[in-house]
Each structure stands twice: as C-alpha cells, then as structure tokens.
Amino acid sequence: MDRRTALRTFATSLLGGWLLQRTCSADTPEWLNPEVLKASLHTATPEEEGFIAYVVGLVKAGRLPAEILQSAYLWAKRKPKYKFQYFKRAIIQLAAARGIRL
C-alpha cells in the first residue's frame, strides 16, 4: 500500500467515525423534542404548546406510538401554512385509527 492510499484510508475512517459518533450521540430526535416541534410547527397559543407537550409526554410514557408523532410531524412540516393544525388533526386521526383516545 502506498502512502497516498494509506492516508486516504485513514481520512475516510476518521470521517466515518466522526459521523457515526455525531449521529449516535443525539439525545432526542428532532420530532421528539417539544421545543423543536413548537418552533417548526409555528405554535401561536399556550394551548397549542400544551398539546405538543401532552403528546410528547404520551410518547415518552409509552401510551402513544412514536411513529404516529413522527409521521404527523413530518407530514405537517411540509405544509405551507397552518402547520400546527395539520399536525393536531393528523395526531388525533392516527391515534383514533389505533384505538387510542386523546
């Protein structure tokens, strides 16, 4: 192995290790952090912020599946306006489809 190949291999492994550490060290995913949810869904009232805190609490307690929160968040985030309203409706409908009452 020549010097250039050895340096390239070393740099690639170093970068890969850094990326792996960065992705594994995240405490909570974006869609499970209430502050990120409030900011990205543009909550306007304390009631809306309370609903987000309530739903995140249900997920953390295990009463609501995390994939419901994640899919509703990712779907509502793509909407141009009224993101929170889309999020709330999606959460309620997806939970109801699984027999979970909010």
Q: Is residue 51 part of a domain?
A: yes
The overall longest dimension of the chain from CA atoms, in Å, is 64
11-24 mean pLDDT: 54
Q: Is residue 21 part of a domain?
A: no
Domain interval for residue 72: 28-97
Phi/psi of residue 98, nearest 5 degrees: -100, 5
pLDDT for 99: 94
pLDDT for 25: 45
More confident residue, 63 or 12: 63
pLDDT for 21: 54
Q: Is residue 47 part of a domain?
A: yes
Number of domains in the chain: 1
Q: Is residue 64 part of a domain?
A: yes
Q: Is residue 48 part of a domain?
A: yes
64-76 mean pLDDT: 94
pLDDT for 3: 75
Q: Is residue 23 part of a domain?
A: no
pLDDT for 56: 95
Q: Is residue 1 part of a domain?
A: no
Counting residues of the chain whose pLDDT is more than 70, the rounded percentage is 76
Helix pair 46-61, 66-77: axis angle to 10 deg: 140
